Amino acid sequence: MDTHLHAAHSLSRADTLLVFLPGAFLKPEEFEREGFVDAVRQRRIDADVLIVDANVSYYYDQTFIERLQSSVIQPQRERGYKSIWLVGISIGGFGALIHELASPGSVDGIVTIAPYLGRRPLGADIARAGGLRSWRPLEGPPSDSEADRLLWPWLQQYAFPTPSRRLPPLYLGFGTSDRFACNHKVLAEVLPEGHVFTTEGGHDWPQWARLWRDMLQVLPLPILRPVSAQRDLQALATQPATNPVAIGA
């Protein structure tokens, strides 16, 4: 997978990395054009941004999970990032979720904006059952090989305190007129307070950009120190070490 890095610091790497996953047929540079990278900087988030060129064909040939892990997540961990968050739009949100399902513990947080969550009839079945807290997946082998047959039982863990503690924090944003909103609402019912964001409108960049700016205000991400404090720390670091002088010596 091709990637495009936007560093938070000119001379060093941040400890946190935000990995942006685009929607189907979207170009990586659209994250820049639509202000996603600028929003991170305006909030003074102390994180590098890595935009991934995740072609939709990777989902069709079922290589997305392996590609993301081997060419993005694992190499970035080896470079020293202590915290990695996935930020996915539409099918990119779906990709972030199925990646964590297949590779648990790989990332430290997930932000899904207008995510594709699978087929509407399956989401409708869950809603008719009373939601994820009441729904019982069918026992035995799944009736087909579609990924949502595994995704929804995994998402169901967020409905209960004990299993949800083993999962990365999950944030969801969507437009109230989004074509996937019926499934979004099923998931939203079980996420913690403050983890769900909505806006008027459908499935497009204006809604996604508004949601991202709102979500950045609450995401538990580190904030850059004030410039003056950074300069003081740098000055202290460059001063030669001195031995304390005893009073009266």
What would the pLDDT profile of 114-159 be if each residue is shown by its tens digit?
999 999 999 999 999 999 999 998 776 666 678 889 999 999 999 9
pLDDT-derived band at 248 (thresholds 50, 70, 90) equals very low
pLDDT-derived band at 108 (thresholds 50, 70, 90) equals very high
The region of weakest confidence among 26-30, 65-69, 238-242 is 238-242
Alpha-carbon Rg of the chain, whole angstroms?
Answer: 21
Question: Among candidates 222, 226, 227, 208, which has minimal Cα distance to 40?
Answer: 222
Mean pLDDT over the full length of the chain: 90
The pLDDT of residue 38: 97
- 154-193 burial string, b = 16+ CB within 10 Å, else e? bbbebbeeeebeebbbbbbbbbeebebbebbbbbbbbbee
What would the pLDDT profile of 174-208 be if each residue is shown by its tens digit?
999 999 999 999 999 999 999 999 999 999 999 99
**Partners of 87 in the beta sheet?**
20, 111
pLDDT-derived band at 63 (thresholds 50, 70, 90) equals very high
pLDDT at 244 exceeding the cut of 60: no
**Domains of the chain as residue ranges with CATH:** 2-238 (3.40.50.1820)
The arithmetic mean of pLDDT across residues 69-89, rounded, is 97
Contact 168, 100 (CB under 8 A): yes
The pLDDT of residue 232: 38
What would the pLDDT profile of 13-54 be if each residue is shown by its tens digit?
999 999 999 999 999 999 999 999 999 999 999 999 999 999
**Partners of 7 in the beta sheet?**
none
Contact 204, 28 (CB under 8 A): no
The more confident residue out of 168 and 226 is 168
Contact 111, 89 (CB under 8 A): no
